[in-house]
Homo-oligomer: A and B are copies of this chain.
Amino acid sequence: MMKKYNFSAGPCILPQEVFQEASQAILDFNNSGLSILEISHRSADFVSVMEEARNLSLKLLGLENKGYKALFLQGGASMQFLMTAYNLLEKKAAYLNTGTWATKAIKEAKFFGEVVEVASSKDKNFNYIPKNYKVPTDADYFHCTSNNTIFGTQMKEFSSVAIPLVCDMSSDIFSREMDFSKFDMIYAGAQKNMGPAGTTLVIIKEDILGKVSREIPSMLNYKTHIEKDSMFNTPAVYAVYVSLLTMRWMDRKGGVKAMEELNNKKAALLYSEIDRNELFKGYAEKEDRSTMNATFNLTDESLKDRFDELWKAEGINGLNGHRSVGGYRASMYNALPPHSVTTLVEVMQELERKA
């Protein structure tokens, strides 16, 4: 079997040792003689998985004992587009529009009240992060997207706002150090840095809840899930377990600080090749480049078939850009080994030699 270099945008590569443990637990979980897939979610073994996962997510972000609750919910980040507004939007909310996902979040919020788009980078097909916008102080909350998976831009600064700050961190959670206590709510679909598809991490400061006048159906109410420690109904047992394995791996490796160092190195390596090599150009504005998703194009489209052939022959996977951008996207999540980036850079250089 050929070695694969997996640059998939999500679901994406997870650490090899996580795959090993995850595979073993399907046959025998914790030496119980039972598969992790066949145990009750109310069993002591799984209750402790859920608890450790909730605690570890807070620990990795430095948010322990600061009034936050961590939940693992179903529905993906897309369900959070809806739930944030259902739970927090009384009259008006402020949104920063930095891409496809932010646009979808705005669409769902409009079901529940007025949405002020404080700024948008749609004018340049989201290849930059708007700056110097003003957030209305009378909005119920301000929502932003830390990393734009599709366009390869990433927010480097989060201005302090006087209203609750809500952030979709689906594609760069656990990738860098930051004062996460700036945020009143953070959510992230697991399927990038945290684990497999099927669970969504929601971290929420309890004191922002209970301020809307509408009634909220049980399953959509954060309070329901907080009261039941994320076990109101059957959770996505296996997705939570593999997320825990992945968070343990991050913790062992030195946490978010160590992840950031590695991510910066990988990103620097690839972006410097994109800039140096005349056959390639980056898609995003330099100052807004994402360390997670590098988007780039060929300067000469006629080289497309040759380049595609080269990287595929090398065992590279998942490099095609999203249809709304075209070109290429190299996703370099936490678990991607630096060697994978080196391999991609070599292929880019090989194209240069052969072109």
> Considering the chains assembled together, what is the distance between the CA atoms of A108 and B226 in angstroms?
18
Question: Is A302 an interface residue, CB under 8 A from the partner?
Answer: no
Tell me if A91 is interfacial: C-beta within 8 Å of chain B. Answer: no
| Contact between B23 and A26, CB atoms less than 8 A apart | yes
Chain B CB within 8 A of A33 CB = yes
State the Cβ distance, A128 to closest chain B Cβ, in Å: 26
Q: In the docked arrangement, what's the CA distance between A28 and B19, Å? A: 10
Interface size of A by Cβ–Cβ distance < 8 Å?
Answer: 66
A219 close to B (CB within 8 Å):
yes
Complex CA–CA separation, A34 to B12 (angstroms): 10
Say if the beta carbon of A318 comes within 8 Å of chain B.
yes
Contact with B along A41-55 (1 / 0, CB 8 A): 100000000000000
Q: Are A38 and B13 in contact (CB under 8 A)?
A: yes
A31 to chain B, nearest CB (A): 7
| Interface 0/1 of A5-35, CB less than 8 Å to B | 0101111111000011011101110011111
Evaluate contact between B82 and A10: CB separation under 8 angstroms.
no
Measured CA separation A273–B77 after assembly (Å): 49
Decide if A218 is an interface residue (CB 8 Å cutoff): yes
Residues in B whose Cβ lies below 8 Å from that of A9: 40
Cβ of A180 within 8 Å of any chain B Cβ, yes or no, is no
Taking a contact as CB atoms closer than 8 A, the residue among B34, B189, B232 that contacts A4 in the complex is B34
Q: Report if A39 contacts B (CB, 8 A).
A: yes
Q: Does A99 sit within 8 A of B, measured CB to CB?
A: no
Report A249-296 residues with CB < 8 Å from chain B CB: none
**A103 within 8 A of partner (CB):** no
9 contacts between A and B (CB under 8 A): A11-B41, A11-B234, A37-B195, A37-B196, A75-B219, A82-B219, A191-B234, A197-B238, A198-B235
A residues adjacent to B (C-beta < 8 A): 1-4, 6, 8-14, 19-20, 22-24, 26-28, 31-35, 37-41, 74-79, 81-82, 104, 107-108, 111, 189, 191, 195-199, 215, 217-220, 232-239, 242, 315, 317-318
